[in-house]
């Protein structure tokens, strides 16, 4: 099986699986228990928090474990508007955010908030100038993802942060860095982010684990109330196996980050050159600024049909975000692409485990798809 859908999820790294297994079978105590096994588990959670913080480039006390990126995004949006509730009810975000940001914003609109959705250009990028034009005195939150999960476009989060400081805006800055973590170099401080979301299964960790960075000094409201875990902000027994796997994956990713980024840039460039040369009618919609994601289209060939064609031949990729579940992508719609191009969109997302030989196989399969689908009248 050839897998080019790493933006959807990644294979769990052996080291991450081993860490989770050790915690499940040996260090399995409840971190809130006062006996020796509980204290051992609590110590392991804090060690893993330090490991993740080192990989991200922040203080351990600024990281709070969550169940996923979606939870982190929801928490960040709600926390920002709560902290700004006395200053205003205006939010700025982009039309190409993950649904985990867009859906909470839509709900807040129903509660009387005003939300400005910034549209991207044809490459999927939203310029910082658009944020400046939309900024108001009552803006309490700017939420802009770092790397788009469908195009690989890198958004100007750091530039937006400098803009907010220059305008002396009190708005908090949140970035969904799920697709950017360990794929592009950054720290929360270098971005100027107040809130930042991560997800473990995008970097070789387990599904069901994530983290939210909350800048030191913000007085956060609890997301979940109960037993007081995560310094009282997110109660509930810590998912220690997932946390251990997340930390292990982050440690490895940080150690090999420069090597992996260079390899992925090279492999993506090779793949795109190959597809341009070999696949009739293929259009490269976004080369992607991030090293691991690009978007192409076979205009006039329904992407779902092409995805099934490739799957039947042992090649996995997607038409866009797995969260769309077959629905039209709001990201591609916001980019003002023609209907034919939108209907034929394919997202290719890489990992260091992919090879040029696999890229060759993809090019051959897409060439066969164009030929056979034309013959079949599809």
Place of tokens 């005195």: 137
Q: Which long-range contacts does 159-168 make (Cβ < 8 Å, 24+ apart)? A: 159/128, 160/128, 160/131, 160/192, 161/191, 161/192, 161/193, 162/192, 163/128, 163/131, 163/132, 163/135, 164/135, 164/192, 165/192, 167/132, 167/135
d(CA 182, CA 185): 7
Structure confidence by residue, pLDDT tens digits, 147-167: 999 999 999 999 999 999 999
323 is catalytic: yes
Sheet with 283-286: strands ordered across: 283-286, 293-297, 345-349
CA-to-CA separations, 348 to 63, 149, 150, 271, in angstroms, rounded: 31, 11, 9, 10
For the chain, which domains are there? 2-10+257-375 (3.90.1150.10), 14-255 (3.40.640.10)
With contact defined as beta carbons under 8 Å apart, do 306 and 288 qualify?
Answer: no
The pTM score is 0.94
d(CA 246, CA 8): 17
pLDDT of residue 374: 57
Q: How far apart are the first and last CA of the chain?
A: 25
Helix (H, G, I), strand (E, B) or coil at 204: coil
Query: Mean of the pLDDT values across residues 88-94?
Result: 98
pLDDT of residue 341: 94
233 has pLDDT over 60: yes
Catalytic residue among 58, 68, 316, 323: 323
With contact defined as beta carbons under 8 Å apart, do 89 and 138 qualify?
Answer: yes
Structure confidence by residue, pLDDT tens digits, 244-278: 999 999 999 999 999 999 999 999 999 999 999 99
Query: Mean of the pLDDT values across residues 59-84?
Result: 97
- β-strands 195-199, 172-176: how paired? parallel
Query: Mean of the pLDDT values across residues 15-30?
Result: 95
Query: Mean of the pLDDT values across residues 33-50?
Result: 94
Strand partners, 210: 66, 199
User: Which two three-digit tokens encode residue 158?
Assistant: 């750091």
Half-sphere exposure at residue 103, Cβ-oriented, CA atoms within 13 angstroms? 10
């Amino acid at each position: 099986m050839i897998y080019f859908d790493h933006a959807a999820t990644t294979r769990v790294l052996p080291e991450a699986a081993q860490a989770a297994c050790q915690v499940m079978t040996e260090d399995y105590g409840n971190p809130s228990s006062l006996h020796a096994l509980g204290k051992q588990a609590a110590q392991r959670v804090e060690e893993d928090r330090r490991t993740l913080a080192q990989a991200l480039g922040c203080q351990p006390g600024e990281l709070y474990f969550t169940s996923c990126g979606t939870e982190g995004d929801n928490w960040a949006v709600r926390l920002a508007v709560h902290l700004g509730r006395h200053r205003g009810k205006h939010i700025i975000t982009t039309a190409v955010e993950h649904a985990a940001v867009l859906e909470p914003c839509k709900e807040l609109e129903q509660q009387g908030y005003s939300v400005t959705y910034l549209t991207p250009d044809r490459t999927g990028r939203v310029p910082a100038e658009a944020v400046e034009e939309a900024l108001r005195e009552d803006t309490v939150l700017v939420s802009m993802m770092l790397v788009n999960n469908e195009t690989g476009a890198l958004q100007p989060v750091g530039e937006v942060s400098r803009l907010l400081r220059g305008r002396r805006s009190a708005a908090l800055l949140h970035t969904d860095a799920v697709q950017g973590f360990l794929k592009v170099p950054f720290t929360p401080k270098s971005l100027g982010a107040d809130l930042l979301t991560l997800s473990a299964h995008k970097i070789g960790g387990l599904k069901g684990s994530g983290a939210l960075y909350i800048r030191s000094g913000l007085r956060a409201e609890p997301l979940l109330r109960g037993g007081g875990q995560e310094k009282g902000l997110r109660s509930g027994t810590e998912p220690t196996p997932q946390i251990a796997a997340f930390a292990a994956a982050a440690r490895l990713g940080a150690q090999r980050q420069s090597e992996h980024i260079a390899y992925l840039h090279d492999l993506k460039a090779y793949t795109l050159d190959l597809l341009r040369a070999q696949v009739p009618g293929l259009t490269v919609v976004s080369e992607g600024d991030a090293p691991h994601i690009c978007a192409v289209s076979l205009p006039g060939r329904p992407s779902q049909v092409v995805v099934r064609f490739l799957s039947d031949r042992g090649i996995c990729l997607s038409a866009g975000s797995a969260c769309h579940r077959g629905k039209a992508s709001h990201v591609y719609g916001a980019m003002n692409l023609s209907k034919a191009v939108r209907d034929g969109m394919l997202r290719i997302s890489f990992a260091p485990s992919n090879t040029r030989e696999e890229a060759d196989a993809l090019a051959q399969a897409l060439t066969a798809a164009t030929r056979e689908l034309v013959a079949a009248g599809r």
